[in-house]
Structure 1
Amino acid sequence: MTSILTNTSAMAALATLRSISSSMEDTQGRISSGLRVGSASDNAAYWSIATTMRSDNAALSAVSDALGLGAAKVDTAYAGMESAIEVVKEIKNKLVAATEDGVDKDKIQEEITQLQDQLTSIAEAASFSGENWLQTDLTAAGGSEAKTVVASFVRDGSGNVSVKKVDYTLDSTTVLFDEGGDTGILDTTTTIEGAAVTLNINVAGVISEYTVEAFTTDDVITAGAGSSTFDGDYASDGTNDYVKVDDDTWVLAVDQTTVTDQEVAYEDSTSALWAVDTTSAPTATTSSVATIAIDGTTTSTQLDGLIQMVDDALTSMTSAASALGSISSRIDLQEEFVSKLTDSIDSGIGRLVDADMNEESTRLKALQTQQQLAIQALSIANSDSQNVLSLFR
């Protein structure tokens, strides 16, 4: 039946055209945005996942920036420690040179003083973004201070998030100078003892261990300005008396009549008895890497003690540098991992929500053809009403 009131053909053609236009609008939206899932209405599950992962990726970007800042701090501290190690090595070499007979120790001291000043300059300059890991006030911090470097942003299986960090502790084993005290590697006070010997001596019936000052035969001769006297195991430099306790080892002595029950006692040719002076103690001086002082009176024993002290400090500095190097290496690995993880997350989001442009372009071409055909069909359907006029001519 043909009706001029109800054109069913035109209605069908118009519905088809509307459907095609709607599909074209969706396709053009995907092409213009590049997204297959651009809103929750497109695919609620994929949109939710993509939104969460984009947020995590933004957090990882912040982690990457923090890693860069942390790496700069660690690298600055490592560079300072490495330079300080070279300076301390040079101080050690100077002290070794000072053991040579006839060397001008005062000149060597001048060089050591300059090297000490350089150590201070290195520690003060090793600062980045207001943080100095080589020089800090450990006393105010209670002996140690914790430093951290952001390493990663983690979301577990339950959806809980956390920021992981790399820890580094500033304490007496890692800091060169303690601004509030003397607990740093290079300002720790160390006791340098002179030559000493430990003996088990029976005093008043009690055997006790005594550490007393020891002298070589040359020391005794020097103390007497060449006029020292020797009588078997007894000697005198004119001021002090000595007894021999080992090969070329002498200790200060006291008259046996002033002590009782001495197990170690010596008799000279005059039948006088002499015993170890248990009240004598090895000569001691306090020094540190930052206050090394030598001159023409510095003995070889004291130099050996200073060399040992510097070597101990060098060992501690090497250990601290190793720790900084390990953290630096870990940060480098973490930066590489974060970069790869960010790319992987981007790729995963893309698989969920990105539009396939090849597919969308093909679909658009097809929809454009369908649209043209729908318009043509609607035109034909609308022309049917005009054909009714010919029946009344």
Structure 2
Amino acid sequence: MSSINTNASAMTALQTLSATNKSLNTTQGRIATGMRVAEASDNAAYWSIATTMRSDNKALSTVQDSLGLGASKVDTAYTGMNKAIDTLNEIKVKLVAATGASDADKAKIDTEIKALQGQLKAYADGATFSGSNMLSVNSGTTATTASDVKIVSAFNRDAAGAASISTIDVNVENIKLYEAGTAAGVNKGILDSNRTAAGAELAVASAATLGTYNAANTFTVDSMELTDGTDFANDQQVGQMLGVVESALKDMTTAATNLGAAKSRIELQKTFTSSLMDSIDRGVGQLVDADMNKESTRLQALQVQQQLGIQALSIANGNSQSILSLFRG
């Protein structure tokens, strides 16, 4: 039946053309953005997952920066510690030379030792990065131990979605060379603590009288001297000082090892974090990125369908014109 009120063919062609145009707009949007899930309406679940993971990746980028800052702090302390070890070895050499030396020579050697002691303090004070110094510490008037240096190392999210932060902690208490804190019972640093010849650290010093040997006497690497200007250390006391230096060197070597281990751990974590960020990027891409090969092929097909739909609609509209021929004389 032919009707001028209802053109079923035209309506079918129009619906088909509308569906083709809608698909064409979707495909063109994917090609323009490179994403098949650009909004929550495209796929709510994938969009939510991708948004959360992108947010976590930004947090990991900050973690990467924190690890870089932490690596610089540790590296600065490690450099200062190595230079201090070299300088303390020089003091050790001077003490060996002082054994059996005359008082005049001891006075000269003492001058050199004092210069080296000053250099040790300079190394420790100068090992500062971004306001952090692990070698020359001031724990204040109440704390008896130095605070750990905490380096943000990871941003974590558990299965329930709760976020947390992990840190790499550097134990400053075991590596500090000087402690300026004044609290009662504060633990002094490696170089300013009272030590016996056997290496034991004592909270209360047993002051030595130069020239008079006492097995219980303690010495401090930072302040020990061969002469006070009047009296001179005898060979037994020089031997005690050597024992103090040896024990300090042992502690500093351990401290340098701890710093080196922390530095290595930070570098490993930086590498892991970088790889993790890449993995998250790939995972998000698999969820929301468009396959440009498929989309370009689909675009060409839809463009052809659009042209055919327009042609079909034109033909369907033309069918109504044929009714006029029935009324021509």
State if a TM-score over 0.5 links the two structures: yes
SS in 1 for 2:259: helix
Match of 1:59 in 2: 59
In 1: Cα distance, 2:112 partner to 2:145 partner: 32
Match of 2:169 in 1: 167
Residue 101 of structure 1 and its aligned partner are, at CA, apart by 4.2
Whether 2:222 is the aligned partner of 1:287: answer no
In 2: Cα distance, 1:309 partner to 1:179 partner: 20
TM-score (norm 2): 0.88
Would you say the 8 A contact 2:178–2:190 is kept in 1?
A: yes
Deviations 1:81-109 (A, max 9, x none): 11111111111111111115458112211
Would you say the 8 A contact 1:37–1:46 is kept in 2?
A: yes
Instruction: Say which structure is richer in strand.
Output: 1
Measured on the aligned residues, the alpha-carbon RMSD in Å equals 2.1
Would you say the 8 A contact 2:40–2:47 is kept in 1?
A: yes
In 1: Cα distance, 2:291 partner to 2:181 partner: 65
In percent, how many aligned pairs have the same letter?
52
Whether 2:116 is the aligned partner of 1:184: answer no
Q: Which moved more, 1:23-32 or 1:34-43?
A: 34-43
Match of 1:244 in 2: none
Would you say the 8 A contact 1:134–1:176 is kept in 2?
A: yes
Task: Give the counterpart of 1:334 among 253, 261, 269.
Answer: 269
In 1: Cα distance, 2:193 partner to 2:105 partner: 27
In 2: Cα distance, 1:117 partner to 1:36 partner: 67
Whether 2:67 is the aligned partner of 1:70: answer no
Match of 1:149 in 2: 151
Residue 301 of structure 1 and its aligned partner are, at CA, apart by 0.7
In 1: Cα distance, 2:106 partner to 2:285 partner: 73
In 2: Cα distance, 1:350 partner to 1:284 partner: 71
In 1: Cα distance, 2:47 partner to 2:302 partner: 26
Q: Which moved more, 1:37-46 or 1:122-131?
A: 37-46
Whether 2:293 is the aligned partner of 1:361: answer no
Match of 2:90 in 1: 90
Would you say the 8 A contact 2:27–2:298 is kept in 1?
A: yes
Residue 179 of structure 1 and its aligned partner are, at CA, apart by 1.3
Residue 180 of structure 1 and its aligned partner are, at CA, apart by 2.4
Residue 352 of structure 1 and its aligned partner are, at CA, apart by 1.1
Match of 1:391 in 2: 326
Would you say the 8 A contact 1:138–1:183 is kept in 2?
A: no
Q: Which moved more, 1:77-86 or 1:360-369?
A: 77-86
Q: Which moved more, 1:289-298 or 1:77-86?
A: 289-298
Structure of larger gyration radius? 1
Whether 2:234 is the aligned partner of 1:299: answer yes
In 2: Cα distance, 1:284 partner to 1:341 partner: 57
* Unmatched runs of 5 consecutive residues or more in structure 1: 194-218, 224-280
The one-letter code sitting in structure 2 at the alignment partner of 1:13 is A
TM-score (norm 1): 0.74
Task: Give the counterpart of 2:279 among 320, 323, 344.
Answer: 344
Would you say the 8 A contact 2:77–2:134 is kept in 1?
A: yes
Aligned length: 307
SS in 1 for 2:222: helix
Residue 283 of structure 1 and its aligned partner are, at CA, apart by 6.8
* Unmatched runs of 5 consecutive residues or more in structure 2: 199-210
Would you say the 8 A contact 1:139–1:178 is kept in 2?
A: no
In 2: Cα distance, 1:17 partner to 1:48 partner: 33
